[in-house]
Each structure stands twice: as C-alpha cells, then as structure tokens.
Amino acid sequence: MNVAAVIISYVASSISAPWLIARLYGVDLRRAGSRKLGGSNLMKTVGVVPGVIGGVLDAAKGFLAVYVAGSLGLSVETQLACGLAAVVGQSWPLFHRFDGGRANATGWGFAIAADPIAALIMFIPILAATVGTLIAKPRPTRLVPLASLLSFGVFAAVIWEQEGTTPAVVAGLTLLGLVVLRRITAGVREDLATGAPLLRVLVNRAVFDRSELQERGLVAI
C-alpha cells in the first residue's frame, strides 16, 4: 500500500470545485439552497451549466484517483484506496472544516474507474428514478436520493457476483458505508436540536438524504 498516494488523493479531493465555481458567481454554497457542497446545489443556486461542470469535476476526483494510481503501476489495493480517499476528501474535506458534499458524483467516478461494467449496471436505478421524477406529477423529491443510495449497493453486489470476495468488493461496500455515513452525519446536530425522533432523523438522512430542517421547509431541498 502506497500511503503517500492515498494521502495525496485525499488532499486533492478536498478541493471543492462546486464551491469555487459558486464563488465566481458571488454565491456561497454553505449558505445557499440546500447548503451542500455539490453539483446539484450548484445547479439549483447558480445554473444548469455551472452545476453540470461542478458535478463532472467532482466525479473526476474519484475517477482520476484510481486511474492515475493505476497508470503509475501501483497495486490494485492502492488504486482502490486512492479512490476511496477521494470520496473521503469530498465528504470530509481538509479545506472546508471537514464538512463537504455527499460524494455521490465522486463515488460514481470511482466506480467507473474501478469496474466499468458494474458501474454501468449501477446507473440503472438512477436512470429509472430520474425518468420517474421527470414524468411524475407532482414531482417526487425522494426518488433520486433513494436511487443514488441503491446504486452503490448494486455496484458492490455486481462485483461480488462477478468476482466473489475480492478487494474490489470490499471497496464497494466501504464506498456504500461512506456514503451512508456522510448522509447521517452532515449537520445532524441541527436536526437533533429540533427535538425530532432520532429514528426518523436517521432514516430520512440515510435513505433519502433529507435533513429534518428540509422536512420542515426551513432549508431548501
């Protein structure tokens, strides 16, 4: 395991492209919209094109961490660790007081680099949820976050079916765990301060990526 490469991946991924892009427009994502440092919040608060660019750059973190490590001839274990470090950097960035985005895009980028076939399959629930959200009236707001979570579970399951228990499967399960952990811990103190039941807070956060403040309409979705 090349520890230096893993650390570099984390530090590099701690740079938030959506936050930087938003600042160019005079917007602080920490205080705007859903207050998340991600492409979706950038899209809603600044615009579609900047949001797409920010999302692609976030995905590139996970992809490049694995790809560059592989290009340097590092071991598979190190490649996967670098990709996971990029996810950690996006979720708990060094330069943003360890309070970052949800790492969905970074996780998808990691998945594409780690196992393209499994990554292709993992996008099926996301595509279905996106289509359902666009055609349903009234438009559901929980479908895509649920599908995003499901996609990471699908990724790990597909690799396990293909390869059995391998480092890639362990990495896939770790990725799923990191995504859930980030959802649960992001601003959870604010939710608990409302007096809402702990179980409801945890379920809404883990499954639907929805804070209690968003449930009450105090923060944008």
Buried b (16+ CB within 10 A) or exposed e, 49-78: ebbebbbebbbbbbbbbbbbbbeeebeeeb
User: Which is more confidently placed, 85 or 37?
Assistant: 85
pLDDT-above-90 percentage for the chain: 70
Give me the pLDDT at residue 171, please: 96
Q: What is the rounded average pLDDT for all residues in the chain?
A: 92
pLDDT per residue as tens digits for the range 137-174: 888 888 999 999 999 999 999 999 987 778 999 999 99
Give me the pLDDT at residue 138, please: 84
Decide: helix, strand or coil at residue 161: helix
The pTM of the full predicted model, rounded to 2 decimals, is: 0.91
Give me the pLDDT at residue 31, please: 87
Q: What are the residue ranges spanned by the domains of the chain?
A: 3-186
DSSP alpha helix (H) spans, the chain: 3-13, 17-24, 39-45, 48-71, 76-91, 104-114, 116-135, 143-163, 167-185, 188-193, 198-208, 212-215
Give me the pLDDT at residue 23, please: 95
